[in-house]
Amino acid sequence: MKKGKLITGIVFLLIGVALVATPLTMEKMHAKEVTELEKAFASIEAGDAPQAEGESSKKWSEEELKETMKLEIPSIDLEQYVLNETTEDNLAVALTQIKTDQDPAKDNFTIAGHRGYRDGRFFRQLPDVKPGAEIKLQDQDATYVYEVDSVEIVNPEAVDILDNKDKPEITLVTCTLSGQQRVAVTGKLTEVVQNS
């Protein structure tokens, strides 16, 4: 009888260790990929070819890295990279463009990101953005400045928030804590500053 309880206890202990270790291991792998993406992007910004340091750095071509943008929301201390295509791999390490061939000066520029659960990564703090807050989107040529005009909770079927309107704007989307709905932040373009 004691032997059976001991074996059961050991099994539950091993399951507990696995449940704790799995997300920590995944977080460590994602952090490594983010670091490699940041290094590759810094190389591109400096005008150098990206240095391949590991398997994950081969995920992004030089062309994809040149199309990478930077999103900044000062009110929530957010500064993240935006990759040009939404895939599971890309969403694991950065924010992503929901639609292809978007023009921030003309279109409703749509960006998706995971909510994230540690260190303010991804769009964890997005629900804290308030109307009037500033959003900056930077590409190789310019910085596009937006003013938030709406923060709302929508159902996943509300894809009309991604439609192009008659004016340039930005739409940022992430899941609510429950994952059942979406947080959608929209802003209107107020300024375009050419990068020197």
* Torsion angles phi and psi, residue 61, rounded to 5: -75, 165
User: Could you confirm whether 30 is annotated as catalytic?
Assistant: no
Q: Please give the model's pTM, rounded to 2 decimal places.
A: 0.73
Q: Which of 102, 175, 181, 188 is catalytic?
A: 175
Spelled out in words, what is the top-level CATH class assigned to the domain 66-194? mainly beta
173 close to 111: Cβ distance less than 8 angstroms:
yes
Of 114, 121, 124, 182, the active-site residue reads 114
Is the CB of residue 188 less than 8 Å from the CB of residue 149?
A: yes
Closest alpha carbon to 52 in 41, 36, 68, 28:
36
114 part of the active site: yes
Give me the mean pLDDT over the 118-141 stretch: 87
Alpha-carbon gap, residue 167 to 172, rounded angstroms: 16
Q: Has residue 129 got a pLDDT over 70?
A: yes
Which runs of consecutive H residues, i.e. helices, occur in 94-133?
none
Among 62-66, 100-104, 109-113, 191-195, the minimum mean pLDDT is found in 62-66
Are 81 and 41 in contact by the 8 Å Cβ rule? The answer is yes
172 phi and psi angles, rounded to 5 deg: -110, 135
108-112/95-97 β-pairing: antiparallel
Residues 93-104: tens digit of each pLDDT:
788 999 888 899
- Structural contact between residues 184 and 173, judged by C-beta atoms closer than 8 angstroms: yes
What is the band of 33 on the pLDDT scale with cuts at 50, 70, 90?
A: low
Q: Is the pLDDT of residue 158 over 90?
A: no
